[in-house]
Amino acid sequence: MSILEEHQIYPIARIVVFKDTVLAEMRPDLSFLENGKVWKNRRGEAFVNPFLKEVWDYNVDIAIKAAKLGFMDIQFDYVRFPEGFERRDDILEYDVGTYTDGDDNVQKRVDAVTDFVAYAREQLEPYGVDVSVDIFGYAATISEAPGIGQNFSRISENVDVISSMIYPSHWTPYFGIDKPDLYPYELVSAYAKVENEVLGALENPPVSRPWIQDFTASYLGPGNFKRYGKEEVEAQIRALYENGIYEFLLWNAGNRYTENVNYLNPS
């Protein structure tokens, strides 16, 4: 941490929250069960239950440890229910904690996720850190993501930074763009305009710091992807800058980033 400070590098602690196979297997009562066993998705991953305050405290304790180590920003990822949870909520066995009132399961999920973010920020306030949340990019384009419990506006009201994952490769046809991975500038620009409108309606909007793409999505198949390099990364950055968004994060699962990218003034 002292070396990072010496080189003026801003340290962010990314904490994966509700996708937690380790905790789920050690404490099945904090997870979702199917036929008495911890439910896992097709990748063998298990989630823990966002309805439960014990799960919240487990993650907040990790965040506090990171803050004490000197991290300046706590970035929560996987702040959501499993994808497609609305198709499983009548099948899986789980505790809803204090969220027993009302019939609307969508709102219960949204409330639980939002309440966790607000609680975490409140608990971290004494440590002087910023709180940020990673969120699916499409969440900004709809009122709320019904299965996973993400409401873009409500989460944004409770964080210092919102980090939408807007990799062109991850969109189906959207914004009138048939194959988004082929159009990094157009996709990011279209998204930024929507996000600016949504955040502009909030009384105290957070800083926008989106995740952008620095990898090649060859898994999309021939004709649906392009090789990402300097031009494609700079195109995304330029689209953000032109829409008044001046912070961003790069994602490459292998931590291999394109060289010679002009991050400050892409033309």
- pLDDT the model gives residue 181: 98
Q: What is the pLDDT of residues 24-76, one digit of tens each?
A: 999 999 999 999 999 999 999 999 999 999 999 999 999 999 999 999 999 99
Domain final residue, candidates 104, 120, 154: 154
Partnered with residue 77 across adjacent β-strands are 16
Q: What is the per-residue DSSP string for 115-161?
A: HHHHHHHHHHGGGT-EEEEEEEGGGGGSS-BTTTTB-HHHHHTT-SE
121 lies in a domain? yes
Mean pLDDT of the chain: 96
pLDDT score, position 202: 97
Is residue 195 in a domain? yes
Distance CA 210, CA 46 (A): 26
Which of 124, 154, 184 is the last residue in one of the domains? 154
189 and 140 co-located in one domain: no
Owner of token pair 């404490």 = 27
Full residue range of the structural domain in which residue 17 is found:
1-154
Per-residue confidence (pLDDT) for residue 266, from 0 to 100:
84
pLDDT computed for residue 265 by the predictor: 82
The CATH number that applies at residue 51 is: 3.20.20.80
Over residues 198-209, the mean pLDDT reads 97
pLDDT (mean) for 228-240: 98
Residues 142 and 21 in one domain: yes
* Spatial CA neighbour of 74 closest among 34, 126, 131, 21: 131
Check whether residue 71 and residue 147 sit in a common domain: yes
Q: Tell me, what's the pLDDT at 33?
A: 97
For residues 16 and 42, membership in a common domain is answered with: yes
Q: Are residues 22 and 109 in the same domain?
A: yes
Provide the percentage of residues in the chain whose pLDDT is more than 90: 92
Claim to verify: residue 97 and residue 125 sit in the same structural domain: yes
pLDDT value, residue 235? 98
- pLDDT-derived band at 179 (thresholds 50, 70, 90) equals very high
Tell me the average pLDDT across 86-102.
Answer: 92
Angle between helices 184-200 and 230-242 (to 10 degrees): 30
Is residue 8's pLDDT more than 80? Answer: yes
pLDDT > 80? residue 267: no
Query: 93: closest CA among 54, 44, 42, 36?
Result: 36
User: Helices marked H in the chain — which ranges?
Assistant: 2-6, 21-26, 53-69, 105-124, 152-156, 184-200, 230-242
161, part of any domain = no
- Which residue is listed with tokens 């180590």? 69
Cα separation, 178 vs 164, whole angstroms:
21
pLDDT at 146 over 90: no
Is the predicted pLDDT of residue 101 greater than 90, yes or no?
A: no
Model confidence at 153, pLDDT cuts 50, 70, 90, reads very high
Looking at residue 86, its pLDDT comes to 87
Q: 189-203: per-residue pLDDT in tens?
A: 999 999 999 999 999
Tell me if 160 is assigned to some domain: no
pTM: 0.94
Q: Specify the pLDDT at position 143.
A: 85
In the block, residue with structure tokens 């989460």: 155
Residues 32 and 108 in one domain: yes
CB 130 within 8 A of CB 160: yes
Residue 153 token pair: 């506006």
